[in-house]
Amino acid sequence: MTFLEKLMQIDRRWIYLAIGLAVIIPTIWPFDVPVTVSPEVRKIYDFVDEMEAGEYLFVCIDYDPSSMAELNPMAIAIINQAFQKDLKLLFVTLSQFGPGLVEQITSGLAEDHNKVRGEDYIFLGYRPYPAIVIMAMGVDFRVPFPVDYYGTPLDEQPIMDGIKNFDDVKGVIEITSGSTADFWLIYGNGRYGFPLAIGITGVMSANFYQYLSSGQLFGIIPGVKGAAEYEKLVGYPGEGMAQMAYQVIAHTVIILFIIMSNVAYFATRKKRQQMGGGT
């Protein structure tokens, strides 16, 4: 039996071993995989990067724990960048299961950067009916959120001095597992015209590229890959990079196996035909 014929009948355990190693090696020796930054991710980074200290950025975190693995890394990367630049951050969530999650992320990162709640950032909280909440915020943040998530009235917090509605923020970044992005497009960007970018799960991202070309979005961060790109730009290699390492290697391994399988198949096909056998 030639090598290629053996390859056709390869013991599946070699494949298992390869996948196992592809996952175990990055766990023991973490390393960065080369990440090509796509223009739609860079635009968001540049947008935030060009903002002046003290300017306002609005971040909406609309996912629940089930898509945390994919979306947390990009949320963290953006918040890191913004805090580093001393921007003022407004957070809100339109997902029922979002509040606890946002609280966790924001308070943790604020501590890392010595930021004070109510001065450097504020978490407004959660309200149902996304469309109405977005439109109401377009009038005045105080309409849907007279008090923030922690129950403190907005007017008692220095960060809200002279801030009324979307006219006073530079841009909105929406990080979502799916459905709420449409609300931000139609009722947010569509009605109030503020610059809008989204971070979204890889699978859902495909549906939103059309809004890039139409100019309704100025950037998209798609899934773990987008998160890794953003982390690279910000210079904080985090969970996105780590996940990307596993995924790139595992995908490469599977792709190589598929190529091998086909090479072996075509190389041995002639012989098989002569022998009258099939697969």
Partner 1 sequence: MKREIPILLVGITGFAMLIQYFIPTGWSEFIFTYSQDWVIVIGILAMPLGIWSLVKANVSKLKVPGERFYSAVLLAGFLIMVLTCLKRENLEMGSLHMDMFTYVLVPIQATIFSLLAFFIASAAYRAFRARSVLATILLLTAFIVMLRFLPLGPISTLNLKAVSWILSVPNMAVNRAIMMGIGLGATATAIKIILGIERTYMGHD
Partner 2 sequence: MNQLTRIISVFLLFAFVGGGVIAQPVEEELVADTLSPSAPMPPTNVRVKDKPNDPGHGLIVEWDLSPDDGAGLNIVVMYDILRSDSPDGEFVSRGMLPSQETQFEDVDDTPPTEDIPNPYFMPKNSNWYYKIVAISDQQVRSEPSELASGTTLENLFHWGKLPILFGVLIFSGFLLIFITSAKKGKELYVRPLSGINAVDDAIGRATEMGKPILFVLGLGTAGDIATIAGFTILSRVAKRTAEYQTKVLVPVQDPVVLAVAQETVRTAYLEAGRPDQYDPDNVFYVTALQFPYVAAVNGIMLREQPATNFYMGIFYAESLILAETGNIAGSIQISGTDQIAQLPFFVAATDYTLIGEELYAASAYLSREPVQLGTLKAQDYSKAVVMIIVILGAIAITTGLPYLLDMVTVRL
Partner 3 sequence: MTTYELIGNGIAAFLTLCIFSFLYKDNPFYKFAERLVAGVATGYFTMLLFWTNFQDKVWQPIFLNGEYHYIIPAILGIIMWTRFSKKYSWISRYSIAFYIGIGSGVSITVYLYTYLFKQLQATIATPLTFDVAGLNIFLVVIAVVSALVYFFFSMPHKGLFGAVSRFGIYIIMIGFGAGFGLTVMGRIALLVNRIIFLKGWLLELFGG
Q: Taking CB under 8 A as the rule, does residue 4 contact partner 3?
A: no
d(CA 117, CA 89) in angstroms, rounded, equals 10
Per-residue buried b or exposed e for 6-24, using 16+ beta carbons within 10 Å of the residue's own CB = ebbeeeeeeeeebeeebee
Q: Taking CB under 8 A as the rule, does residue 228 contact partner 2?
A: no
CB atoms within 10 A of CB 212: 17
Query: Which of the ranges 22-30, 85-93, 186-194, 271-279 carries the binding residues for partner 3, by CB under 8 A?
Result: 22-30
Pair of tokens at residue 92? 């809100």
Q: Are 124 and 92 in contact (CB under 8 A)?
A: yes
Taking the alpha carbons at both ends of the chain, their separation in whole angstroms is 16
Name residues contacting partner 2, limited to 108-167 (CB under 8 A).
127-129, 132, 135-136, 139-140, 142-146
d(CA 193, CA 191) in angstroms, rounded, equals 6
Query: Which of the ranges 21-29, 54-62, 101-109, 172-180 carries the binding residues for partner 3, by CB under 8 A?
Result: 21-29
Interface mask toward partner 2 for 77-116; x: CB under 8 A: ----------------------------------------
Least distance from C-beta 148 to partner 2, angstroms?
Answer: 13
Tell me 63's DSSP state.
-
Length of the chain counted residue by residue = 279
Closer CB to partner 2, 139 or 263, in the complex: 139
Q: What residues make contact with partner 2 under the rule CB under 8 A?
A: 12, 127-129, 132, 135-136, 139-140, 142-146
Q: What residues make contact with partner 3 under the rule CB under 8 A?
A: 13, 16, 19, 23-24, 27-28, 69, 202-203, 210, 223-224, 243, 246-247, 250-251, 254
